[in-house]
Amino acid sequence: MKRFRSGLAGFLAAIAVAGTSGAAVAGKSNDTLVYASDSEPENVSPYHNNLREGVIIARHVFDNLIYRDPKTGKYAPQLATNWKWVDTTTLDLTIRSGVTFHNGDPLTADDVVFTLNYVVNPDSKVITKQNVNWIKSAEKIGNDGVRIHLAGPFPAAIEYLAGPIPIYPEKYFKKVGLDGFAKAPIGSGPYKVTAVTPGKGVTMEKNTNYWKGSPLGQPSIGKLVFRVIPDAETRLAELMTGGVDWIWRVSKDQATQLKSAPNITVLSAETMRVGFLQFNAVGSSPAAVPFKDVRVRQAVAYAIDRKSMRDNLVGGGARIMNSACFIDQFGCTDDGVPRYDYNPAKAKELLKEAGYPNGFKTELYAYREREYAEAVIGYLRAVGIDAHLNYLKYAAMRDAHRAGKTPITFQTWGSFSVADASAFTGVWFKGDADDSSHDAEVQKLLKNADTSVDTEERLKTYQQALKMIAEKAYLFPLFSYPANYAFTNDLAFTGESDELPRFYAAHWK
Amino acid sequence: MLSFTSQRLLVAFSVALTVSIVAFVLLHLSGDLATAIAGPEATVAQVAEIRHQFGLDRPITAQYFDWLWHALHFDFGNSFYYRDTVVSLVVSRLPVTLTLGAISLALSLVVAVPLGVLAAVYSDTIIDRLALGFCVLGQAVPTFCLGLVLIIVFAVQLRWLPVSGTASWKNYILPSIALGWYAVPAVMRLSRNGMLEVLSSDYIRTARAKGLQPSVVILKHALRNAIIPVVALAAVQFGFMLGGSIVIEAVFNMQGLGYLAWEAIARNDFPVVQAVVLILAVIYVALTFLADVANAFLDPRIRLA
Amino acid sequence: MNVTAPAGTDAATDALREAAAARPTLRTAFLRRSLRHSGLVIGSVTLLVIVAVALAAPLLAPHDPYAQDLAHRLIPPIWQANGTWDHVLGTDKLGRDYLTRLMYGARISLLIGALTVLISGTIGTSLGICAGYFGGRVDSVLSYIVTTRLALPVVLVALASAALVGSSLEGVIVVLGLLLWDRFAVVTRSSTQQIARTDYVAAARAIGCSTPRILVSEILPNILSALIVVATLEMAHAILLEAALSFLGLGVQPPLPSWGLMISEGKQYMFFSPWVIGVPAAALVCLVLAINLVGDGLRDVTAPENRG
């Protein structure tokens, strides 16, 4: 009954809200930047979602230990004033004093130790395991020192600390638990969350007490509103009518058309995101059985005209990828990696060899850029593979994929903006939930590459692994994604190649 | 009257119970619940533990009554996707859908009843034909198409109204037109037929014979009687609108109940779907019950039939 | 007057009254009335054209509906500046010929309409005949089932079921067929009640005809005209629902050329190239309008005094 009564109170309150007018409008006039995107993180706790929208919130609400300059790629102190390798598996950091969380609690070495130990604990059910599983544990040394024990040698550690590892407030988190944190997260970053509304989005406010001297700089815009608008057309219409100030993932066609619209700036930049087809090479569902055969996977690769897709559908600064990573990541190379240039005749031949002269029926799963997936289906059809599209929300697709139900998945991966090949291969090939090839040899090579302290050795091993992945066609890389941003002319905004919009650095003109 | 009411109440109650079984089955057909609750990375042992913990290893009937008992206490469990209870999600979304439904219904009545009356008064004239033609055409336009046209014209071209969301009362205007449109033909036909019937009745003829003004006859005497069936239909249409608002909410990105259900379906979040189906059905049952009783109250012939 | 009974009930009873009249004159009178009913004529002609195009799509269509050509995407239709006669209605986002897809899409819409009505008609008619003929408890059970069915929100249940069985053409047909039988049941029931009371049914019973035989050979033929009226309206309903499901992404799946799907995919271009969405939307409205005109027209000519 109590539940009902509180529910009723909430209901009445919600009716009252629905009835009132004069809601926040976007724009310079009231210092509120409304940005819209298609998907919504299931949980705004940065370790409990793997959506880009979640990464954006994480970078605005939390601080990292180390800062990586997107322009130069150089590391700089953020929460850690300095760091030092004790040996290949031990890293010492000194934590800055004088930083406070949004609720006024000081940020100390204890919070760092708590965060790192929390995220490696299996009970925490962290979704972004590949970002943290190189850590074994953390301990406090002295007053403001933190020592990280690594699970093994991991030269890319600094890159990860500068990316997807935000620091949580120990006291607050322990008080409210993960469920409470999901509704009202608290960090130390340039913006503080004022409301999380499932289905609608997140509102944030400038942290006026943001610590001086942060490499992120001081935030300028007063309020940020993240609105979830799944529909690309609705986002576009909202931008054109001033309902939102900033959108992205504008398709090539829309970007071209928008350039003629007044008051709107269109910005295109290549990103680290790579689109690719992932095959269920273990054949764990009936429709996936053909993909156990390497010739079938290669046939799919030969069947698709990536160049035409890039030129006509994707546009922007997109590049065709041949390796299972983003080409500018450390360790990523396509030297000596086999290419699959468009060759439908060869695809048909391979299918015939594999025992499918008349092709077969299968299913393709996708969650964004539906027209790319449909173009792939069109190409497959031309060589006799009758693929039906299952277009799902990301979480549903991810679950189906992790359960081994998907024969082909159209995936995209932005590597959490980590400029190291391990952030890509580690997710898709190291035997974790998203690995659908489970090749022991590849896993071994990657393990060696990830943990090798010798740079030359690392590069060489990555190349071997990437070559093997391409030869066996476990994953067929398509192209990198351009980010097409469109925003109001009132806004001064610059896009970075790591696909991380930095609203804390934006300002009104 | 009392026996009529109690009989209808019994029917309403058993229908609600049947719907609850349908909703329950829907959830259980959606896949293995223990696996869904445990999450994609759970081990076999963890799944088994959850199966036991949530009582999913018991006979299906025991699970049903258990679920029903909780549902009666407004407890539909937790969403698989959001870290929230189903009830609090539903409670936060219901006002949007109710507001949308109410405005749509009001709009459609305001348009359809006068149109129906006009068509009846001028029956078999060009007015009647135009009104009927409008209805036939109206029925042929899918609501989502109408919604998109409204967005293009009134939001993007003319900039009179907002495109999407639920931020202010202005956001409700376009979706209400699109949703209300759907009910106009039915209401119009009914008020036209009701009006025709009443106009040909004896007492109207008497009133006319007494030399009363035609407008007085129509508005004061005829309309009052012709409107009775419309009231009942309106209740039913309101129920349909709540169920049909899913399409409109999707087009206008309104975070109502339908939108919640749509997203939940796409995310395999079936506890939410189940709760929304049940709630919409119960609202419909309640509305038709009230309409039946009100009708019987107004028109004694019904409760005797 | 029964308020909640769907439209069509009155038409049904009147159709029966006419069925009792002399048959030969009925047919000529029916034809004459049909030809004078402009809505019926327009509707039938449009519907016939659409059906003919759908059936002859492989012969008429200028291209393969699935042949994509990314280098020739979004060519505008002929009436626009850059239109070409090779693609009269232009091409879609993957360079597939729009006219061809529209023609094949008619097949999908009609197939869904026809098969859904076949399933729902069978269910609804069987239930309705039994309830109307046997009355009493059977009748109460039916009205209870119908009430339950009406209480379920159609779009939502259809979406959820489509998601459960996997969204596909077959899935959509079965789901809609299992959901849209209520009006059939209501209309059949009241028509059957009328006929069950007539003399020739009593006569058939008296000479010892079995109940199934009476139901099939005496009652069914006599409620047929009422059934056809309901079938047309439900067909239109099913086509609209399929479009809505496809629009919401849980109906027919790509690359099938369903009109609902074409509208949904054309949405991306609605602000700058409205024809991409306008063409399939216009086709859909024409089809539904034609079917509704035929349905309304048939109701009018079988029961002229009950127009509306």
pLDDT in tens, A146-205: 999 999 999 889 999 999 999 999 999 999 999 899 999 999 999 999 999 888 899 999
Chain B residues whose CB is inside 8 A of the C161 CB are 26
Q: What is the largest CA-CA distance in chain B?
A: 87
In a shared domain, residues A326 and A233: no
Which secondary-structure segment (H or E) carries A201? Answer: strand A201-206
Q: How confident is the model at residue B41 (pLDDT cuts 50, 70, 90)?
A: low
Mutate to test the interface with B, among C14, C137, C141, C148 (most CBs of B within 10 A): C148
Interface of B with A in 124-153 (CB under 8 A): 151
Q: Is C90 exposed, middle or buried (0-12, 13-18, 19+ CB in 10 A)?
A: buried
- Sheet holding A90-95: strands in order across? A80-87, A90-95, A145-150, A135-141
Contact A313 C70 (CB under 8 A): yes
Searching chain B, which residue's CA lies closest to the CA of residue A228? B253
Q: How far is CA A429 from CA A183, A272, B161, in A?
A: 33, 18, 50
User: Which other chains touch chain A, taking contact as 3+ CB pairs less than 8 Å apart?
Assistant: B, C
A2 vs B83, which has greater pLDDT? B83
Looking from the CA of C170 toward its CB, the CA atoms found within 13 Å total 2
Q: What is the average per-residue pLDDT within A297-323?
A: 92
Check whether A18 has a pLDDT greater than 60: no
- The confidence score (pLDDT) of residue C24 equals 52
C124 vs A2, which has greater pLDDT? C124
CB proximity B201 to A under 8 Å: no
In a domain, B26, yes or no: no
Look at residues C115, C122, C226 and name the one whose alpha carbon lies nearest to residue C176: C115
Check whether A17 has a pLDDT greater than 60: no
**DSSP for A27-75, written as a single string:** BGGGTEEEEEES---S--SGGG---HHHHHHHHHH---SEEE-TTT--E
Check whether B172 has a pLDDT greater than 50: yes
- The confidence score (pLDDT) of residue C296 equals 85
C26 vs A449, which has greater pLDDT? A449
Q: What CATH number is associated with residue B192?
A: 1.10.3720.10
In a shared domain, residues A340 and A231: no
Q: How far is C94 from chain A (nearest CA, A)?
A: 6
Number of independent structural domains in chain B = 1
Mean model confidence pLDDT for chain B: 83
In a domain, B74, yes or no: no
Q: How far is B200 from chain C (nearest CA, A)?
A: 14
Searching chain B, which residue's CA lies closest to the CA of residue C295? B136
Q: How many CB pairs under 8 A join A and B?
A: 114
Interface of B with A in 246-285 (CB under 8 A): 250, 252-253, 255, 259-260, 263, 266-268
Searching chain A, which residue's CA lies closest to the CA of residue B163? A238
Domains and CATH numbers, chain C: 27-306 (1.10.3720.10)
In a domain, B24, yes or no: no
Chain A residues whose CB is inside 8 A of the C254 CB are 370, 374, 377, 388-389, 391
Q: How far is CA A260 from CA A255, A264, C45, C213, in A?
A: 9, 9, 44, 72
Chain C residues whose CB is inside 8 A of the B258 CB are 155-156
Searching chain C, which residue's CA lies closest to the CA of residue B270? C160
Q: Are A508 and A206 in contact (CB under 8 A)?
A: no
Q: What CATH number is associated with residue A158?
A: 3.90.76.10
Q: What is the average per-residue pLDDT within B266-293?
A: 87
Domain that holds residue A405: 271-482
In a shared domain, residues A168 and A297: no
Mean model confidence pLDDT for chain A: 90
Contact B197 C1 (CB under 8 A): yes
> For residue A485, which phi and psi values (nearest 5 degrees)?
-95, 145
Q: How confident is the model at residue B134 (pLDDT cuts 50, 70, 90)?
A: confident
Domain that holds residue B147: 91-304
Contact A388 C267 (CB under 8 A): no
B292 vs A341, which has greater pLDDT? A341
Percent over 70 (pLDDT), chain B: 94
In a shared domain, residues A467 and A424: yes
Q: Which tens digits make up the pLDDT trace of C16-28?
A: 454 444 455 666 7
In a shared domain, residues A393 and A407: yes
CB proximity C269 to A under 8 Å: yes
In a shared domain, residues A289 and A400: yes
Q: How far is A21 from chain B (nearest CA, A)?
A: 4
Q: String of b and e for B252-268 (b: at least 16 CB within 10 Å)?
A: bbbbbbbbbbbbbbbbb
- The confidence score (pLDDT) of residue A246 equals 96
A362 vs B31, which has greater pLDDT? A362
Q: Round to whole Å and give the CA distance between C160 and B276.
A: 11
In a shared domain, residues A228 and A93: no
In a shared domain, residues A381 and A502: no
User: Which other chains touch chain C, taking contact as 3+ CB pairs less than 8 Å apart?
Assistant: A, B
Chain C residues whose CB is inside 8 A of the A308 CB are 70-71
- The confidence score (pLDDT) of residue C26 equals 63
In a domain, A20, yes or no: yes
Cis (ω within 30 of 0) for the bond into C255?
yes
- The confidence score (pLDDT) of residue B193 equals 84
Interface of C with B in 124-143 (CB under 8 A): none
Domain end call among A144, A172, A200: A172
The least confident of A64-68, A364-368, B288-292 is: B288-292
Out of A8, A21, A231, name the one closest to residue B169 (CB). Answer: A21
Chain A residues whose CB is inside 8 A of the C96 CB are 378
Which residues does A110 contact at the CB level (< 8 Å), separation at least 6?
Answer: A140, A170
Q: String of b and e for B95-125 (b: at least 16 CB within 10 Å)?
A: bbbbbbbebbbebbbebbbebbbbbbbebee
Residue A90: beta bridge partners? Answer: A87, A149
The DSSP symbol for C75 reads P
Chain A residues whose CB is inside 8 A of the B41 CB are 125, 402, 433
Continuous H helices in A69-164: 109-120, 129-132, 157-161
- The confidence score (pLDDT) of residue C219 equals 85
Q: How confident is the model at residue B189 (pLDDT cuts 50, 70, 90)?
A: confident
- The confidence score (pLDDT) of residue C61 equals 87
Q: Which tens digits make up the pLDDT trace of B98-114?
A: 999 999 999 999 999 88
pTM: predicted TM-score of the whole model, two decimal places: 0.85
In a shared domain, residues A233 and A129: no
In a domain, B83, yes or no: no
Interface confidence, given as ipTM, is: 0.85
In a domain, A184, yes or no: no
Contact A18 B260 (CB under 8 A): no
Check whether B235 has a pLDDT greater than 90: no
Check whether B225 has a pLDDT greater than 80: no
In a domain, A263, yes or no: no
Task: Please state the separation of Cα C198 from the chain's center in Å.
Answer: 31
- The confidence score (pLDDT) of residue A407 equals 95
In a shared domain, residues A287 and A389: yes
- The confidence score (pLDDT) of residue B39 equals 64
Q: How far is CA B213 from CA B125, B196, B217, B218, B221, in A?
A: 21, 18, 6, 9, 11
